[in-house]
Structure 1
């Protein structure tokens, strides 16, 4: 078994190297086709050091950032070739490919970035954060009660844009000597103002069930994924009723660690295809597209794992079920929404189906949900959270100007770091 696993890893490594070399050639060709960036135009940078597999973290910010760019021009800084290629194709914002530290420094000197946003905690964030005279701001890629949301890494950033009271209370339990009033700015969930899009089906009398599980996790404490424990039986039961329409949106990393988890994911996709072939009017959906919005707004009931998807759906204020992890080491927060949510235990398909029907039509459960929506996001009236986001950015810009005026006579230090450039990792590690 160990020998087979080693061989599988070796083959994967060889394929990754070949793929990344091809990606390098492709991205260089794409850059040659693009006009150069207008100098000194962009005031906000969005730093993304991950490969394309984690682009979902950035995609959810496309629409809010595109709207913000109408006032404050925004530039995405991509460190990985695979991600850059996808961004060139799909991003509504301009993209700078900055594989090397030298490339990053060139863009920094050619632009006037006052604020730099970060959507994750990639270790390479520190290659950008060493540049002063700008605010480094953690905006995250979703609200949740996962361990990730209470990391002491928040302190590394000048500011953090958080969702609301629940996020602040969560952090207050962990972060010592942190100025929450200044550095943690609540904005709600700007993405919720963009929960829209073209439906890939024709609405009818069928009840739409969104099943959006996360990946299997890389350790027991984070083993929240339900595809193998709940998903196959759950989806099969929903497909067989004739009164439900399934929208299946698995995490893009599903199966990257556990081969059997990946096999369960493929089994669900195949079952959906078979159900549609048997009854084309069913219009079940396997959703692997980049856009997230219509799924959250259109579903009559959503079933998600412990992940940011819980809170993405919570912001919509509609019926919601959380799968209960089966791994004994999975860490479950007991102080927030998960202490009062509607759980879905793993079991036989008919039992899980009955639970879905119960929650989908439970008026009291929906009323209880309203309390948690307010606690996590504040006022969710359409447009309000976008206003808070823009106000936060305006505040950061004003603070930048205030400090720039105070230090106008200071000598600017050359940030160039030859050692960092010489020791930077290869692009293969990024993609």
Structure 2
């Protein structure tokens, strides 16, 4: 077994090295074709030190940031070869590749960056924190009740953009001596104003169930993933009815830690393909597309793990079931929505059809859902979150002007 594991590890390292080499070649070519970025143009930078595995954290912000760029030009400072390669291929925002600290300093010398956004807690963020005279703002990559959302690392940033009252309550319970009123801005979920994408199926009388599990996690406290414990049973039950359409959207990191998780994921994908081959009208979907939008809006029911997907779906205001973690060490915040949500236990996964019908046909569910939507995101009327996002940026730009004037004086 150790030899087999070593062989698998060696193959994985070789593939990663080859992918990095290809990305380096492609990156040089794309940067040469594009030419240098115009100097003194960008006022906002998104700092991204990660590679392609965490690109989902950036991609969900593309649409809101592009709209913001109409008022305040936005760029991305990318530190990793393969991350920069992916960003340039997406061609969603201007990208500066800055692998070294000296490169970062050159970008800052060439641009009048007044706000730096961060979508995650990468330890290399601290290399950017050294530069003052600009606001460092944590915008995160989703709202959830994970312990990640209450980390003391919030204090490392000058400000944080949060979703709403639930986030405020969560932080106030956890962080000591943190000025929530001044250092946080509640903006809701701007991404919800940009749901898009064409349906990959033709709508019919089938009920659409989105199953969007998270990855397996890298420690017991974060073992929220359900593919092994719930996934195969619930997907099999839904495929057997002939009256459901499954949209399966696994987390991009599924199986990176646990081979059993990767194998179960592969079996679910194979089951979807087999079901479609047997009944082409079923049009089940294995969704690996980078953009998230139509999935949340089109599904009649969503089955999700404890992750940002809970709250992405909640922002859509439509019914959902949450898988209950099997690992007793998995941390579950039972003070918010998870204290009142509809849980799906692993033992009940095979009864998903009955559970789904009950949730979808419960008249009281709409009222309960509306309460929690307001608690987490505030006003979710179209455009409301985008307006709050832009208003928060304007406030920080005004504070930058005030500070800059004081320093100049």
TM-score, length basis structure 2: 0.98
Query: Which aligned pairs between 1:292-371 and structure 2 lie closer than 5 A?
Result: 292-347=292-347, 350-371=350-371
Aligned-residue offset at 1:10 = 2.9
Aligned residue number for residue 246 of structure 1 = 246
Q: 2:392 is paired with a residue of what secondary structure?
A: helix
Deviation at 1:303, TM superposition (A): 0.5
Q: What do the CA deviations read for 1:335-390 (whole angstroms, capped 9, x no partner)? A: 01000000011136541221122112212122111111111111111111110000
How many residues align structurally?
Answer: 409
Q: Deviations over 1:128-177 (max 9, x none)?
A: 11111100000000000000000000000000000011101101111111
Name 1:426's counterpart in structure 2. Answer: none
Q: CA RMSD in A?
A: 1.1
Indicate the larger mover: 66-75 or 7-16: 7-16
Q: Which residue of 1 aligns with 2:382?
A: 382
**SS at structure 2 position matched to 1:281:** helix
The separation in 2 between residues aligned to 1:219 and 1:365, in whole angstroms, is 34
Q: What residue in structure 2 maps to residue 46 of structure 1?
A: 46
Q: Which runs of 5+ in 2 are unaligned?
A: none
**1: distance between equivalents of 2:91 and 2:114?**
21
- Per the TM alignment, residue 78 of structure 1 is displaced from its structure 2 partner at its CA by 1.1
Aligned to 1:106, what secondary structure does the other structure show?
A: helix
Distance in 1 between the 2:195 and 2:342 partners? 23
Q: Are the equivalent residues in 2 in contact too, given 1:345–1:352 (CA < 8 A)?
A: no
Write out per-residue CA displacement over residues 176-205 of structure 1, whole angstroms, 9 at most, x where no aligned residue: 111111001111111111122211111111
Residues 207-286 of structure 1 correspond to what in structure 2 (within 5 A)?
207-286=207-286
What residue is the counterpart of 1:29 in the other structure?
29
1:281-308 Cα offsets, whole Å, 9 max, x none, are 1111110001001100111010000000
Structure 2 CA distance for partners of 1:349 and 1:406, relative to 1, 3 Å: closer
Q: Is the 8 A contact 1:346 1:352 kept in 2?
A: no
Q: Partner of 1:418 in structure 2?
A: none
Is the 1:60–1:292 Cα contact (8 Å) retained in structure 2? Answer: yes
Distance 1:6 1:92 in 2: 39
CA distance in 1, matches of 2:96, 2:278: 47
Q: Deviations over 1:57-114 (max 9, x none)?
A: 1111111111100111000111111111111121421111111212211111101100
- Secondary structure at the aligned position of 1:321 is classed as strand
Per the alignment, residue 178 of structure 1 pairs with 178
Question: Quick check: 2:43–2:73 contact (8 Å CA) kept in 1?
Answer: yes
* CA deviation map 1:194-233 (0-9, x unaligned): 1222111111111111000000000111000000111011
Shift of the 173–349 alpha-carbon distance from structure 1 to 2, 3 Å rule, reads closer
Q: Could you tell me whether the CA contact under 8 Å between 1:162 and 1:185 is conserved in 2?
A: yes
The alpha-carbon deviation at position 327 of structure 1 amounts to 1.1
- Which residue of 1 is the match for residue 291 of structure 2? 291
> Hey, what does 2:13 align to over in structure 1?
13
Q: What TM-score does the superposition give when structure 1 sets the normalisation length?
A: 0.93
Counterpart position of 1:149:
149
CA contact (8 A) 1:234 1:352 kept: yes
Deviations 1:229-260 (A, max 9, x none): 11011111111111111110000000000000
In structure 2, the residue matched to 1:104 is: 104
1:422 corresponding residue in structure 2: none
| Structure 2 counterpart of 1:424 | none
Worse-superposed segment, 88-97 or 236-245: 88-97
